[in-house]
Structure 1
Amino acid sequence: MKLQVLVDNNTYIDAYYLGEPAASFYIEEDGKRILLDTGYSDILLGNAKKMDIDLSKLTHIVFSHGHNDHTRGFSFLKEKIDLSQVSLIAHPDCFLPREDDTDVFGAPFSAEEAAQIVNYAPFRMPVYLTEKLVFLGEIPRRNDFEAKEPIGRRLKDGLWEDDFVMDDSALVYQGKDGLFIISGCSHSGICNIIEYAKEVCEDTRIASVIGGFHLFEPGRQLSETIRYLKECGIEKLYPCHCVSLAAKAAMLAELPVTEVGVGLRLEIQ
């Protein structure tokens, strides 16, 4: 599997890409060309061009969840590229309207509108995109230190309700050295994601994790996450997007954390 970071908060020094507080990963695996998330603006288009990535050859788009910093770039992508033969994979709640007291931050289009552009397939359960790459679907919330607070509200079946981002998901690649997990924001909890990945893939070895961990302030969630990740014996961690400097520093003191920025390229066997 080949992976490149198309959109992230940070960019590498002397790599003249653009960054924004959003996320998008480009993946090639077993003849498939996949975008996990599309960022917030049109920068994925320019960054992809500079990286010699031909987005017109995409086979799949996967949304990790329905917040606009992961979905809004789709609005720019569809204006430049014919996506009619592309499969869109997401949790069925991904396109619900979302808001809090100050902002609206759901995907800027509905499931019905997306289905007019791509081949939309909602999945609540795990689904394999290739023999080794699986979309986890809805993540069970088993750890008592993760995913306990709502993030704004969502509109479902005509009613506004607290939003626990139940559509949050991740991709998992089953490599020779164990599981390589690619998350969007980990609103469901990065430890919950890892536990479910082990169950779905029937493999307890965790080689690496890249993506947003949704960790910000020191506290129980951060300390328990560090403890859990240490117990996993992970070879490399690539926290990015929604991970604060304070959280990265705390992780770096005890875990094999590696810098991430737009332009990062990884090859996983």
Structure 2
Amino acid sequence: MIIKTLTENTSLSENFGSEHGLSLYIETVSFKILFDVGASELFLENAKKLNVDISDVDFLIISHGHYDHGGSVKAFLRENSKAKVFLHQLAFEKYYALRPNNVLKYIGLDEGVKQNGRIVLTSDRFFINKGIQMFSNIIQRESISRSNSGLLMVNNGQMMQDTFAHEQNLIVEENEKMLLVTGCARNGIVNILEHFRDLKGCMPDYVIGGFHLSSRSGGNESAEVINNIGKYLMDTKAKYYTCHCTGIEPYKRLKAVMGDTIDYLSAGCEIRIPPVEAIKDCQ
């Protein structure tokens, strides 16, 4: 299995563009999968540089209903004429972020895309094909990130705290190995892993994605919280590759706790699972 980071907040080198967003290309023996498309058409530019043909992608999965993960679905549909696009059934609801000075900004998806015939709305557990499934409906056993507090949704005409019920996670199974992919893990990476164990009876072998330990306003989770998360992740015995909303400083703290069991994926990174070798060095 090969994973290429098409869009991320940082870049491996000046050859690759970066933005606040996430897009991952996952190639298995049988399928070519795109997980999120970032905020803009940047994923298309970086895909060409990484020799990824977007027109060959078999499935697109959008992790949740925020623009930095699904802002360029329309561009994907233009460049790819065959793939179905899988979003949670709540992904097209109205989502907002409270910015500095109490400015309310719409951060949801383009509702016009919903009418496209290739859009598939998923439920709490959804199977795409053998070895490829999504799950949501996370039980929040552990507290979620405090940076979620400024993220809102409209429910029955009323503005309220986002419940993140629209967030889905991907499981890819190949060669007796299981990969878990998260978009932002706004329901809490620990809660997501516990739910994974409930579903599969074990922990994943590999985990890729954002863990939402920082916010765009600059706030990070406390050192104590990050340390505890790092210790929990270590105990799962999985290999972690994180990015996007984890944040650089929280990542550094996780790295101090977890050592070689965690690495960072910037735009332009390529990894192989199992990690026989890194195709391009990543942080």
TM over 0.5: yes
% identical equivalent positions: 22
Q: CA separation of 1:108/1:91 partners in 2, compared to 1, >3 Å: closer, same or farther?
A: closer
Q: Distance in 2 between matches of 1:82 and 1:131?
A: 22
Query: Please, which of 218, 225, 229 is the counterpart of residue 221 of structure 1?
Result: 225
Paired residues of 1:134 and 1:173 also in contact (CA < 8 A): yes
Query: Please, which of 259, 266, 269 is the counterpart of residue 264 of structure 1?
Result: 269
Paired residues of 1:123 and 1:137 also in contact (CA < 8 A): no
Alignment of 1:9-158 (within 5 A): 9-13=9-13, 16-78=15-77, 80-83=78-81, 85-99=82-96, 100=98, 101-110=102-111, 113-143=112-142, 145-147=143-145, 149-158=148-157
Q: Deviations over 1:79-108 (max 9, x none)?
A: x4254x321212111111122342424333
Q: Distance in 2 between matches of 1:93 and 1:147?
A: 21
Query: Please, which of 210, 213, 225 is the counterpart of residue 212 of structure 1?
Result: 210
Which has more helix, going by share of residues?
2
Paired residues of 1:169 and 1:188 also in contact (CA < 8 A): no
Q: Distance in 2 between matches of 1:75 and 1:264?
A: 25
Q: How much does 1:136 deviate? A: 1.2
Which runs of no fewer than 5 residues in structure 2 stay unpaired?
A: 215-219, 275-283
Amino acid aligned to 2:251: K
Q: Deviations over 1:223-267 (max 9, x none)?
A: 321121122122x22111012222112111121222311122233
Which runs of no fewer than 5 residues in structure 1 stay unpaired?
A: none
Q: Does residue 1:4 correspond to 2:9, yes or no?
A: no
Paired residues of 1:71 and 1:108 also in contact (CA < 8 A): yes
Q: Deviations over 1:160-182 (max 9, x none)?
A: 22212221221122345643211
Q: Distance in 2 between matches of 1:70 and 1:172?
A: 18
Q: Deviations over 1:184-230 (max 9, x none)?
A: 1110111111111222223x143221110001322453232112112
SS in 2 for 1:206: coil
Q: CA separation of 1:105/1:36 partners in 2, compared to 1, >3 Å: closer, same or farther?
A: farther
Q: CA RMSD in A?
A: 2.2
TM value normalised by structure 2: 0.83
Partner of 1:239: 242
Paired residues of 1:175 and 1:268 also in contact (CA < 8 A): no
Deviating above 6 A after TM superposition, structure 1's stretches of 4 or more consecutive aligned residues are none
Q: How much does 1:57 deviate? A: 2.0
SS in 1 for 2:263: coil
Moved more, 49-58 or 27-36: 27-36
Number of residue pairs matched by the alignment: 261
